[in-house]
Structure 1
Amino acid sequence: MASSETIEAVPQFGLCEAGAPYQARPCAFGIAVDDKGRIALVRIARETYVNWDLPGGMIDPGESEAVALAREFCEETGWAVTAGALVARAEQFTITRTGERRRNQCGFFLCELVEMTGGKIEDDHELVWLDPHEALTRLRHPAAAWAVTHWLRMGRVCGGRPR
């Protein structure tokens, strides 16, 4: 490695059982802010639980992070977005409802809201706009809460413009 190169550590969240295989899963999530300074979250209500997540999800083979983010964001909220600046990267170790061990390799991006598409939103998903500090108390995954905290500490509101 050349002396000018650096290695940035990617924070890891969740519990990882030593020796157990975790499937790597590249993901992209969006931080979108409305004109009132509220952040977009997805409330996922299933039969036995409710989760709160940043819009986004798994990157399909052959997709870029920006394309995956736009697709997932629209599927979950009905909003077309454009992916902007990378806010943070982190890994989230998790075990799914079906017992699969996953290592979500997450990119968290600022998003610009383009338009409400009117397309079908996943049945158990609801877009909710919350104050970013309240969002921190609701987010399911610590990696997402860390990324939102990182964004807040950058002094960003309303689409990434400085305060």
Structure 2
Amino acid sequence: MIRRFGETPRPDQTYRRRVGAYALLPQAGGLLVTEQSTETGPDLQLPGGGIDPGESPTAALHREVFEETGWRIAAPRRVGAFRRFAYMPEYDLWAEKICLIYVARPIRPMGPPTEAGHAAVWLDTVDAAQRLGNAGDRHFATRLALGQLRTG
């Protein structure tokens, strides 16, 4: 069973399962996150997103991190998973999001994010653990900050 974070699913709503890969990207006490512009203001998130049909989770992770931060990464290692139920307005979709969490090494920036409305932001790991926009992301960032996840 995968731990659930966030809102309880609505019994009157049908959800579509959407599996995604997300990255904790630590370096020198900081964590690389993405800031996404939303209708309600900026939202800090672990970079990552949906796995396309036929795509492996690690290929999706590399692609999504690059699109949302402009960075290349290396040595991704899966450290856990969680699920959450959410409305995704950009897709007009009610989703059961299965979030596969990886720790990876940020290697180098290749330019700005290619995905509109995203910006790469470095935060202190402890600060990120408090400020990330969803409880699942905060849970894994907190475990990283407390040294409960092996990073190399």
Query: TM-score when scaled to structure 2?
Result: 0.88
Tell whether the 8 Å contact from 2:113 to 2:120 is kept in structure 1 after alignment. Answer: no
- What per-residue deviation string (whole Å, max 9, x for no partner) do you get for residues 61-109 of structure 1? 0111100000000001111112522111100111123652111101110
- Structure 2 residue runs of 5 or longer lacking an equivalent are none
In structure 1, the partner of 2:26 is 33
In structure 2, the partner of 1:23 is 16
Q: Which 10-residue stretch deviates more, 138-147 or 59-68?
A: 138-147
- Structure 1 residue runs of 5 or longer lacking an equivalent are 1-8
Cα RMSD (Å) of the superposition?
Answer: 2.0
1:37-116 correspondence to structure 2 within 5 Å = 37-97=29-89, 99-116=92-109
In the alignment, the residues of structure 2 paired with residue 149 and residue 61 of structure 1 have an alpha-carbon distance, to the nearest angstrom, of: 31
In structure 2, the partner of 1:5 is none
Q: CA deviation at 1:18?
A: 1.7
Q: CA deviation at 1:48?
A: 4.0
- SS where residue 143 of structure 2 aligns? helix
* Aligned length, in residue pairs: 150
In the alignment, the residues of structure 2 paired with residue 114 and residue 28 of structure 1 have an alpha-carbon distance, to the nearest angstrom, of: 18
The 1:48/1:151 distance shift into structure 2, 3 A limit, reads closer
Report percent identity of matched pairs: 28
In the alignment, the residues of structure 1 paired with residue 33 and residue 142 of structure 2 have an alpha-carbon distance, to the nearest angstrom, of: 14
Tell whether the 8 Å contact from 1:92 to 1:105 is kept in structure 2 after alignment. Answer: yes
